[in-house]
Amino acid sequence: MARRGKPELLDQLTAAASFDSQLREIALERDANRNKINELSKQVGQLRRAGSTIEAEAAMAESRERGDAEKRLAGRADEMQARLYDLLLRIPNVPHPDAPDGAGEDDNPVVKGPIAMPIAFADYQQVPHWETGSALGILDNERAVKISGSMFTMMRGLGATMSRALCQFALDANADEFEEIRPPSLVTTATLTATGQLPKFADDAYAIERDDLWCIPTAEVPLTSLAAGEILEEADLPMKFMAFSPCYRREAGSAGRDTRGMLRTHEFDKVEILSYATAEQAPALLQMMVGRAEALLAKLELPYRIIEICTGDMGQSHHRSFDLEVFAPGSDRWLEVSSVSWFSDYQGRRADMRYRPTGEKGTRIAHTLNGSALAVPRVWAAIVENYRQADGSVRIPDALLPYMRGATEIRSK
């Protein structure tokens, strides 16, 4: 855990060990007390049969005192257990031994690329997508803000069609191996806790307090809990799912950052891929899922690169993680468009998701992996900037043409 570079995590581990030790001491005291109560109960009967009324009453009084003490011990144990449980839920996963060490995002190494990066971009490509989108009438964030407030976006016309096309493109590309699911967009507290979003990241989630439900930040959340509390068969693993869903994020603490255009928004569409696996299957699955996300960017003919996330930049649940980034010449920056992660048994443990090994007794905790096959906003933005033409129109990538109702380019009306 020290590899994550956050000294407070080691303090949390020390506190958790202390709570656990105190719970064990309480349990020993409770058991000794219960044994004494049972012993006193026997004595009371024996004393009464012997006619020793005074001694019997004394034994009964001591038994009542010990009973009261047991209630106090139970209260202390419940309080300590609750504090330990809350603390354990906030402690992140342990990094994989091969994950690169580092203090933060600046230490994330590029492991592949840049791919398809031109020597130079034309001047007409170096226009921010929000300017092009507004000029072509395909991005109307002003009305989105009027309807819903800041950091909401709205695509129109062929811009909306291209958004939908991106999602269908991603689903079709993964349908050969991944079962399509359309999960609920609202989930319970337990479901959001299983993936690691709660309790640590409650401020980033939209809560519907009246019904104790949460808007999903990603389809990873409901897909992970499909098998919560279940025992799977090893022969059925790996299990692979994909889902299109809207995603909702409050983006707490991001005020003033990337507020223009499509780079940061409270609601967006995304296609997620997710797998349940054994520990032995997981490494190959991780590489396969990275390859699938990469293949989509390659087919869209966007300049991209792959970075591996260092220990100091890892998310709460991550064991090993890779980000895929595309270059947006109008924004003049690399944009993260996909994150593919292996969570080891971290989420499986929280969700109580197990499998029965073939030919063995007992069960093991399943491993989970997930990735953004394609998240719309930043890919959409990168297409508008990379595919902008000299006359201000935007050419549709060839990979999306089957989904565009015959349109090959986007022009102002």
Structural domains present in the chain: 2-90 (1.10.287), 105-410 (3.30.930.10)
pTM for the model: 0.91
Token pair in block for residue 263: 């780079």
- Kind and range of the H or E element at 188? strand 186-188
Averaged pLDDT for residues 171-179: 98
257 counts as catalytic:
no
C-alpha to C-alpha distance for 195 and 405, rounded to whole angstroms? 38
pLDDT (0 to 100) of residue 258: 62
Set 131, 336, 349, 364: catalytic member: 336
Set 305, 354, 378, 388: catalytic member: 378
pLDDT (0 to 100) of residue 35: 87
Band the pLDDT of 255: cuts 50, 70, 90.
low
Averaged pLDDT for residues 45-60: 81
Share the mean pLDDT of the chain. Answer: 94
339 counts as catalytic:
yes
Band the pLDDT of 222: cuts 50, 70, 90.
very high
- Which residue has 């507290």 as its token pair? 189
pLDDT (0 to 100) of residue 44: 75
DSSP-based helix, strand, coil % in the chain, nearest 5? 45, 20, 35
pLDDT, tens digit, for every residue of 365-398?
A: 999 999 999 999 999 999 999 999 999 999 999 9
248-269: string of b/e by CB count within 10 Å (b at 16+)?
bbbeeeeeeebeebbbbbbbbb
Closest listed residue to residue 320, CA positions, set 302, 307, 305: 307
pLDDT at 411 > cutoff 90: yes
pLDDT (0 to 100) of residue 304: 98
How many C-beta neighbours within 10 Å does residue 384 have?
28
- The percentage of the chain sitting over the pLDDT mark of 70, rounded to a whole number, equals 98
Q: Which residue has the higher pLDDT, 41 or 6?
A: 6
pLDDT (0 to 100) of residue 45: 79
25 counts as catalytic:
no
> Do 180 and 242 form a contact (C-beta atoms < 8 A)?
yes
pLDDT at 256 > cutoff 70: no
pLDDT, tens digit, for every residue of 273-304?
A: 999 999 999 999 999 999 999 999 999 999 99
Set 163, 321, 331, 339: catalytic member: 339
pLDDT (0 to 100) of residue 333: 95
pLDDT, tens digit, for every residue of 106-142?
A: 999 999 999 999 999 999 999 999 999 999 999 999 9
Set 3, 4, 63, 249: catalytic member: 249
3-state secondary structure of 378: helix
C-alpha to C-alpha distance for 379 and 166, rounded to whole angstroms? 8
Residues 6+ apart with CB under 8 A from 305: 110, 112, 113, 114, 115, 324, 325, 327, 334
pLDDT (0 to 100) of residue 140: 95
pLDDT, tens digit, for every residue of 323-360?
A: 999 999 999 999 999 999 999 999 999 999 999 999 99
Averaged pLDDT for residues 27-39: 87
Closest listed residue to residue 324, CA positions, set 115, 130, 94: 115
Listed range (175-179, 196-200, 239-243, 311-315) with the worst mean pLDDT: 196-200
pLDDT (0 to 100) of residue 254: 57
Band the pLDDT of 43: cuts 50, 70, 90.
confident
- The percentage of the chain sitting over the pLDDT mark of 90, rounded to a whole number, equals 84
Closest listed residue to residue 70, CA positions, set 125, 40, 29, 115: 29
pLDDT (0 to 100) of residue 388: 98
Q: Residue 55: how many CA atoms within 13 Å on its side-chain side?
A: 12
